[in-house]
Amino acid sequence: MVNLSLKHGNTDASCSAYVGLGGFIAGPRFGDYNAGFRFGRLGCDLVEQRGLQRNAARTYMVFGNIVVPWTQHVRAGRDLIRRAFDVAHAIGDLTCASYSCNSLIMNLLAAGDPLVDVQREAEAGLGVCRASPVWSRDRHHRRAAWAYPHPPRLDANLRLFQRRAVSMSARSNAV
């Protein structure tokens, strides 16, 4: 996506692509955390200056939670994580809002904030999630799944997946 953005111009997806490049490749893979920070900052700048809002919540969350702590104190990313939560909640992205809430709680714990503050943030985030219509629907689905008399076994599914992967690998090697 970064190559396409550099070649053809930036889109909404470019923001999260630049942050992803910085957060998952430049720093961890190549050890260039400063370049990772600059790529991440580019993604956030595109959101803020160009108005590319579609992936704003994910861009802020990854930058504040993963990229910023490499080059600055862990608290420096906190406002971005809060902004990610606010944006995700405003647009109804419960998944990103939940991850942002989780990231904020990890940030508070990593920074050594008082546990009473951590608990307050956790309860506030949980309250927002529980108020969502998605939470209510998913809660009923989970209850229905546990009512199933013989829930599928993860180890059996894993063995089936492994057999299929070995079989496919054997077929591709035979060609």
Residue 157 pLDDT more than 70? no
Residue 94: count other Cβ atoms within 10 Å of its Cβ. 17
Provide the pLDDT for residue 145: 45
pLDDT 10s digits, 47-97: 988 877 888 999 999 999 999 999 999 999 999 999 999 999 888 888 888
Confidence of residue 156 (pLDDT cuts 50, 70, 90): low
Question: Looking at residues 96-108, what average pLDDT do you find?
Answer: 91
Provide the pLDDT for residue 152: 46
Higher model confidence: residue 52 or residue 105?
Answer: 105
Q: Which single residue is written with the structure tokens 């629907």?
A: 137
Provide the pLDDT for residue 53: 80
Which string of DSSP letters, residue by residue, matches the chain?
-HHHHHHH---HHHHHHHHHIIIIIITTTT--HHHHHHHHHHHHHHHHHH---TTHHHHHHHIIIIIHHHHS-GGGGHHHHHHHHHHHHHHT-HHHHHHHHHHHHHHHHHHT--HHHHHHHHHHHHHHHHHSHHHHHHHHHHHHHHHSSSPPPHHHHHHHHHHHHHHHHHHHHH-
Q: Rounded to whole angstroms, what are the CA distances from 162 to 2, 86, 152, 169?
A: 33, 41, 16, 10
Question: 2-145 belongs to which homologous superfamily?
Answer: Tetratricopeptide repeat domain (1.25.40.10)
Confidence of residue 174 (pLDDT cuts 50, 70, 90): low
Q: Which single residue is written with the structure tokens 């009923």?
A: 140
Give the side-chain half-sphere CA count within 13 A for 137: 4
What ranges do the domains of the chain cover?
2-145
- For the chain, percent of residues with pLDDT exceeding 90: 40
pLDDT 10s digits, 7-50: 888 888 888 999 998 888 988 888 999 999 999 999 999 998 88
Give the side-chain half-sphere CA count within 13 A for 172: 6
pLDDT 10s digits, 122-154: 988 888 777 766 555 555 444 444 444 444 444
Please give the structure tokens belonging to residue 131. Answer: 């108020």
What integer best gives the mean pLDDT of the chain? 80
Instruction: Tell me the C-alpha distance between 164 and 45, whole Å.
Output: 45
